[in-house]
């Protein structure tokens, strides 16, 4: 990422999820524009943490989803992705619904950009299924506030 933009990996990650939540392909593209290889990896790390947090919250609260809703939401949300990732997400979601987790994990090692898109879509889909749009947007703002507080309260001196 360019120093001039002052956007962090958290900004790019959360903006991508928010953009997918609204199904806004232009905003998705803008959220991830200008990332270099390192930044793509950092965005993926942020999204992976947010995905784990989302799943943990779901497990702790006992909230569940209907598989049909997840597949439908995945189709809707992934329509904002670049076409090759839209198709990959549709296939991965259907495989996951059948109990095959391999397609959800496959892109992270081979295609970081694909892993970023698929993880952002996954977070949006789970969040929409669990909390609806306004609830998911609230969670994203809390995550941003927490990340900002951690960065400002514990600057790296190394």
- Give the structural domain span for 13: 3-152
Tell me, yes or no, whether 144 lies in a domain: yes
With a cut of 50, which residues of the chain have pLDDT below it? Answer: 1-4, 157-158
Tell me, yes or no, whether 158 lies in a domain: no
Tell me, yes or no, whether 147 lies in a domain: yes
Tell me, yes or no, whether 131 lies in a domain: yes
Which pLDDT score is estimated for 69?
84
Angle (CA) 139-121-41 rounded to 5° is 90
Which pLDDT score is estimated for 1?
42
Tell me, yes or no, whether 103 lies in a domain: yes
Q: What share of the chain is helix, strand, coil (3-state, %, to 5)?
A: 80, 0, 20
**How many domains are contained in the chain?**
1
- Ramachandran bin of 62, using left for φ above 0, alpha for ψ from -120 to 50, beta for the remaining angles: left
Which pLDDT score is estimated for 2?
42
Tell me, yes or no, whether 157 lies in a domain: no
Length of the chain: 158
Which pLDDT score is estimated for 4?
41
Which pLDDT score is estimated for 101?
67
């Amino acid at each position: 990422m360019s120093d001039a933009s002052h956007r962090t990996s958290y900004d790019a990650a959360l903006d991508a999820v928010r953009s997918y939540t609204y199904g806004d392909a232009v905003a998705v593209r803008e959220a991830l524009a200008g990332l270099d290889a390192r930044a793509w990896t950092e965005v993926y790390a942020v999204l992976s943490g947010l995905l784990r947090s989302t799943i943990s919250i779901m497990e702790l609260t006992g909230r569940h989803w209907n598989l049909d809703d997840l597949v439908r939401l995945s189709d809707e949300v992934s329509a904002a992705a670049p076409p090759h990732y839209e198709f990959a997400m549709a296939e991965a979601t259907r495989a996951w619904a059948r109990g095959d987790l391999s397609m959800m994990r496959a892109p992270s090692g081979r295609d970081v950009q694909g892993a970023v898109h698929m993880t952002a879509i996954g977070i949006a889909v789970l969040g929409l299924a669990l909390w609806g749009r306004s609830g998911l947007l609230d969670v994203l703002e809390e995550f941003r506030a927490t990340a900002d507080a951690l960065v400002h309260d514990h600057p790296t001196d190394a």
